[in-house]
Amino acid sequence: TLADGPEALQCPTLIEDDRTGMSPETLKRAFLDNLFYLQGVNRTDASPYNYYVALAYTVRDRLLRRFLKSTDTYKQEKVKLVCYFSAEFLMGRYLGNNLANLGIYDLIKEMIEELGLDFEEIIEQEPDPGLGNGGLGRLAACFLDSLASLEIPAIGYGIRYEFGIFHQMIQNGWQVEIPDNWLRFGNPWELPRPDESVEVKLGGRTEIYHDDKGQERVQWLPERRVLAIPHDTPVPGYKTNTVNALRLWKAEASESFNFEAFNAGLYDQSVAEKMDAETISKVLYPNDNTPAGRELRLAQQYFFVAASLQDLIRIHLKSHKNLQNFHETAAIQLNDTHPAIAIAELMRLLVDENGLEWSKAWTITQKTFAYTNHTLLPEALERWSADLLGKLLPRHLEIIYLINHFFLDDVRTWFPDNEELLGKLSIVEEAGWGNKQIRMANLACVGSHSINGVAALHTELLQKDTLKEFAMLWPEKFYNKTNGVTPRRWILLSNPQLSALFTEKIGDNWLKDLKELRKLEQYLDDPEFRQRWYEIKQANKADLAAYMLKTRNIEVDVNSIFDVQVKRIHEYKRQHLAVLHIIALYNRIKQNPQIDIVPRTFIFGGKAAPGYFMAKLIIKLTNAVAEIVNKDPDVRGRLKLVFLPNFNVSLGQRIYPAADLSEQISTAGKEASGTGNMKFAMNGSLTIGTLDGANIEIREEAGAENFFLFGLTAEEVYAKKAHGYEPMSYYKNNRELKGVIDRIKSGYFSHGDPELFRPIVDSLLYDDQYMLLADYQSYADCQEQVSEAYRDRDKWTRMSILNSVRMAKFSSDRTIWEYCQEIWKVNPVKISLED
């Protein structure tokens, strides 16, 4: 089902040449041509990488006509463009996805195999472009796929990081970070557009002057300028003619600038300036749910936002005489506050550079922006010190003060004498000793017409807690947009066998409308269907088992429960709660080696931010427990623990389809949504989870009887905190839990060293911010229910089927459609390939 040939494209192929033709012969000729003429390699000495590049260009050629046609149509029809501003786009490999969306996956696979080549091996040559940290960046990628698939005119704007998220190695159980030089061998998917470069100013000061009408105005006298060079990657929709752009900016030294230094004989200085400029797009900050607070990070944010706004204004002015109706050309979605400085930048462009009146500019700005919040963790909300912001962006700091001034004036008239309210709403926080902080979430709320959370509970808590003053002020600005993931990458590409079964039974329309899958419920009582379902899961488990043997040299039992937790490592996500449970099972075996337990393979994966000590220690603990448990003869292979290094999009594609059990065990009220939870469920994994984020909605859709629920609710968590939570009492009153923690304390997993894991033990016993001990027993009991359910294969398979076929809500197509209707107010635009 991955493809059904050129006819699937529903368009006439206009020029059947080597760069457009879709017949097997033409494709083969184009492929070999791209090997010889583009790379200067003969078949006799071509490497798998050479074959990958040849195939990538063959596919890219077939995207270009659609790409240019889409851009032209948007221009001609003066459509409203959806502009997704995001510091991260975690796209994953392009080749397989582009083949699938063009509808030529099977065709190409056959062609490659006819040439005696290994298709899988060629696909694996592509570096996984990791320009994001985790959920937030991957959400942006799923959204681009859905936008193009729904034929919505859209563009993704971001940064072309030269180094993406680091490559994670595990050495002696510890995480080691290796730079991700993903562009070293070039990137066949991107099209540099140097002619559309723009300049971005930084630093310096501002000055008052009088214009020709004698009006007092402000200008920014920057200290330096950098060039922003756009690199476009085509993003095709699934079996549509729409191909949108992902436009990523690379920073370079501005020609004129270093030329001056060069002429003055300061060659070394001009080279130093060039390096300084290029630093801006050098590397992705590897933090998830914790802001970096560094000047370079702010420079990155401003850099891509300033370049993108100039780009949009240029596009607008091609077909409009002024900027009065800019908001009709661009609907800009701010992916968290990382691009929120755009609000001040658009004001600067409109007022300082285009002479609009402040109030007119403000109306346009508010109508242009919409803000998505992705976290409830207070420490994750971005704040910039006013000093730092003013040093890099002096004019923007003034503009932010002005925005705040006018805003607070309004609040004062609506709510007189309410200093406390003013303090909460203010964009500027007075942190004492003249130390002012700029709250980017407040700026985003004030400057946008729409504020949304990413799951029902998250949006509710935003309104009740994190952003409650704004919700009181502007209830009509708040929306919920529960996240989704693209079924193209997360079912079709990652689980071809399951996809083939779906298509065999109900046709392939499920890829455009995931609700179609519900038709499969009619097969629930069909033993043959259930058997095939089970066999597909087992085959996917066998593939992953082979991968684990090859990469980690650990042998696992495919009849064991594949119990998986893959996501960024963070204390709130509670990977260590799962580790406590594994140690409890181990202790039970040690007490009674004859005990009857259902065999499990625990699979972990995820990166820790390099500066996050506790997260790195949790990785070490996981590997330390693995070392003991995996080789203990009493265990007899019934428990295996595998930490798979370098979890990324392509490893996710292998893992989700092979999971029996999906671990979604964050402290209730902490995970905004989660999106991995959706990928697991779509692939027939059952969830063990708390009432947090989108878990709640997954359970609603799948049916409570098909979901393993445990733990405190968000409300119970707050109540417990309010009444003085004492983790120590759980330790003292729960023998099994005490046994688990004592085992860690004793140095059993650390070669007798009781100090190594003390920070984890102490944080659990004396603080336990994330309430692992409060949830421990409920989790352990729930895991017993999981084991019992797995003993009954039929029952388990039914639950698995129901989870998978009831996940339509979590297609990002549904999410994007809601954004289009309610926030962006845009409609599909058909792209015709006729001239």
Binding-site ranges for ligand GPW (CB under 6 A):
133-136, 139, 288-289, 336, 374-375, 380, 454, 483, 671-675, 693
Q: Which of 436, 573, 640, 699 is catalytic?
A: 573
Q: From the CB of 136, what's the least distance to ligand GPW, in Å?
A: 3
Name residues whose C-beta falls within 8 Å of residue 308's C-beta, 6 or more positions apart in sequence: 83, 85, 157, 247, 249, 342
Number of other residues whose CB lies within 10 A of the CB of residue 572: 18
Q: From the CB of 780, what's the least distance to ligand GPW, in Å?
A: 25
Q: Compare residues 70 and 675 and give the one whose CB is closer to ligand GPW.
A: 675
Q: From the CB of 137, what's the least distance to ligand GPW, in Å?
A: 7
Per DSSP, 104 falls in state B
DSSP SS3 for 512: coil
What does the block give as tokens for 746? 């004793």
Q: Compare residues 483 and 648 and give the one whose CB is closer to ligand GPW.
A: 483
> Is 573 part of the annotated catalytic residue set?
yes
What does the block give as tokens for 707? 């979901």
Name residues whose C-beta falls within 8 Å of residue 788's C-beta, 6 or more positions apart in sequence: 598
> Is 675 part of the annotated catalytic residue set?
yes
Q: Compare residues 648 and 673 and give the one whose CB is closer to ligand GPW.
A: 673
> Is 242 part of the annotated catalytic residue set?
no
Full DSSP string of 476-498: GGEEE----B-HIIIIIIT-HHH
**Phi, psi angles (nearest 5°) of residue 82:** -85, 125
Q: From the CB of 664, what's the least distance to ligand GPW, in Å?
A: 10
Q: Compare residues 292 and 829 and give the one whose CB is closer to ligand GPW.
A: 292
Per DSSP, 3 falls in state B
Q: From the CB of 453, what's the least distance to ligand GPW, in Å?
A: 9
Residue 25: exposed, middle, or buried by beta-carbon count in 10 A (0-12, 13-18, 19+)? Answer: exposed
What does the block give as tokens for 219? 């200008």
Q: Compare residues 101 and 675 and give the one whose CB is closer to ligand GPW.
A: 675
Sign of CA dihedral 775, 778, 784, 790: negative
Q: Which of 679, 699, 743, 806 is catalytic?
A: 679
Q: Compare residues 339 and 447 and give the one whose CB is closer to ligand GPW.
A: 339
> Is 607 part of the annotated catalytic residue set?
no
| Distance separating alpha carbons of residues 438 and 461, to the nearest angstrom | 23
Number of other residues whose CB lies within 10 A of the CB of residue 357: 10
Q: Which of 466, 675, 690, 797 is catalytic?
A: 675
Q: Which of 488, 567, 607, 640 is catalytic?
A: 567
Sign of CA dihedral 697, 518, 793, 562: negative
Q: From the CB of 381, what's the least distance to ligand GPW, in Å?
A: 8
**Phi, psi angles (nearest 5°) of residue 209:** -145, 175
Place of tokens 């260590």: 576
Q: Compare residues 380 and 582 and give the one whose CB is closer to ligand GPW.
A: 380
Q: From the CB of 483, what's the least distance to ligand GPW, in Å?
A: 5
Helices vs. strands in the chain: H and E counts, helices first: 32, 23
> Is 449 part of the annotated catalytic residue set?
no
Full DSSP string of 323-360: STTGGGTEEEEEESSTTTTHHHHHHHIIIIIT---HHH
> Is 679 part of the annotated catalytic residue set?
yes
Q: Which of 65, 109, 374, 699 is catalytic?
A: 374
Q: Compare residues 351 and 823 and give the one whose CB is closer to ligand GPW.
A: 823
Q: Compare residues 88 and 126 and give the one whose CB is closer to ligand GPW.
A: 88
| Distance separating alpha carbons of residues 231 and 250, to the nearest angstrom | 7
- Count of all residues that appear for the chain in the document: 835
Q: From the CB of 570, what's the least distance to ligand GPW, in Å?
A: 8
Q: From the CB of 700, what's the least distance to ligand GPW, in Å?
A: 17
E strand residue ranges, 90-173 = 154-159, 167-171
| Distance separating alpha carbons of residues 134 and 606, to the nearest angstrom | 9
List the catalytic residues: 374, 567-568, 573, 675, 679
